[in-house]
Amino acid sequence: MTKHEFRYASHPVDARSYGTDELRNHFLIETLFTANTISLTYSMYDRYIVGGAMPASEPLKLETIPYLKSENFLDRREMGIINVGGKGKVTVDGDVFELAKKEALYIGKECKEVLFENVDGEQALFYINSAPAHKKFPNKKVGKEDAEVIELGDEKYANKRILNKLLVNSIVETCQLQMGLTELLSGNVWNTMPAHTHSRRMEAYFYFDLEEGQTVSHFMGEPEHTRHIFMQSNQAVLSPEWSIHSGSGTSNYSFIWGMAGENLDYGDMDFCAPDQLK
């Protein structure tokens, strides 16, 4: 079964007046994983789609959704998938890609059949991002050993973390999509600090592996008008092109970042010094 919902884009000045419920309704994606379901949120930020697939005993088939007006989901789109659960496999037009936890798959435009399945009785959880695409690039699995790894932060600032670039253009050819996974080391809680914006690209963050009962406060908004959204494990948040995207947890955690827009330059960021945030 496929479920879908839609999010309009917000003007930054309008967003300044949003209360807790409006912020959560416009930006937070609370439920990504429901058994035997593909849950998709179509946003007007670069027409980016954020979703999750949680197969049960039968393979789950990717279906098109009404906003696309296309026969197949990927007729004019590309897709990135990162497994955040147990062993799973994705079959794309008959080609099988096994994905262990934290492994990624890029699926190019024009692929017709995509099936999500569990392997060895484990429960796979496939986190999905998709963006419009103008060109077909080959499908490619990117395992943890293929990632471009960067150590960031400092214990002193409680932000020591390992950033794994997975679906980025030095590793796989994509039209717009970039995805990767950042792991906060034990005792470290701040991600993406110093914070940044990149008006050339929107971004979505997906938090996971957060200890039971803990939370992450995700910070968003223009650097001088920030707001927060408390989030749980396995939830995602949309970050408009005008917004910072940073978080602080009550414990450490991991998160997946995904983005699309004007360029494929991961390092294209406008930094905001911590003492300048409001």
Ligand X SMILES: O=C(O)C(=O)C[C@H](O)C(=O)CO
Burial class (CB in 10 A: 0-12, 13-18, 19+), 216: buried
> C-beta of 35: minimal distance to Zn ion in Å?
32
Give the integer Cα–Cα distance in Å for 278 and 269. Answer: 19
The residue whose Cβ lies closest to Zn ion is 203
Give the integer Cα–Cα distance in Å for 93 and 111. Answer: 7
Does 4 show up as a binding residue in the annotation? no
> C-beta of 58: minimal distance to ligand X in Å?
35
Q: Are strands 244-249 and 216-222 parallel, antiparallel or unpaired?
A: antiparallel
Residues that bind ligand X (CB under 6 A): 152, 161, 163, 180, 182, 191-192, 198, 203, 245, 257, 269
Nearer to ligand X, 129 or 192 (CB): 192
Does 196 show up as a binding residue in the annotation? yes
Query: Maximum distance among all alpha carbons in the chain?
Result: 53
Contact region with Zn ion (CB under 5 A), list: 26-34, 65-73, 88-96, 198-206: 198-206
Q: Which does 191 bind (CB under 5 to 8 A by kind): ligand X, Zn ion, none?
A: ligand X
Number of residues that bind Zn ion (CB under 5 A): 1
CB of 2 closer than 8 Å to CB of 55? no
Close Cβ partners of 69 (under 8 Å, ≥ 6 residues apart): none
Give the type of residue at 129. Answer: N
Contact region with Zn ion (CB under 5 A), list: 84-92, 122-130, 199-207, 222-230: 199-207
Dihedral of the CA atoms 276, 252, 7, 70 (nearest 10)? 130
Q: Which does 161 bind (CB under 5 to 8 A by kind): Zn ion, ligand X, none?
A: ligand X
Site residues (CB under 5 A) for Zn ion?
203
Residues placed in the known binding site for Zn(2+): 196, 198, 203, 245
